[in-house]
Structure 1
């Protein structure tokens, strides 16, 4: 099927994304990897009037250290987790879990933030993040 019509927005900053989501309200949906939202739109189970694509926001990407904490941006893809020496060295269980997510095409586009925020009960990443004591902001 073909999704219904919608307006597409690609903000360049977190502040711009938050403003769009606030201004557009319930008619807007943030788009991370899109692996859950896009199929629902194709089946017309989700019909947002506005999509807010978060891929242009550099501040939401990356893997870094902050003291003893490992900081992973919400828009960091599963592929980037797999490619990270820091993840492989300091959190190998996260590396192993990312290897089990779907297939390479999904891992190249799917994000850690979208994966966790979607809350699919069949998804391993939310339970792993709880086990690791992850916090979000």
Structure 2
């Protein structure tokens, strides 16, 4: 499905959610489905997925953070993960708000078989052990 300002983001087909990979012709050749990863924080999940499938060309990974904010929060972790993603051919887009991504010009013309939105990050930094960190 192409994104439009009048529709919310939905995956192209619910039956495609079961398998990220599917056999293209019954042989051992496998085809990666088009995947959108929304709100990935430091891009660790996206990087792991791209490494697992060994081909990130059909992966678009997004984060709410701007590039500057991302590197301030996650430093080398984000740098390493983004490099790994790009090395597999994945697309990385910063500053994407999942609540308004249907109006994002970088995403509007794209279609996805699967959309993954992990639980959003609570906003505190690594190592914050405070019991009230989320409050």
Same fold (TM over 0.5): no
Higher helix share: 1
Structure ranking higher on relative contact order (CA contacts 8 Å, 6+ apart): 2
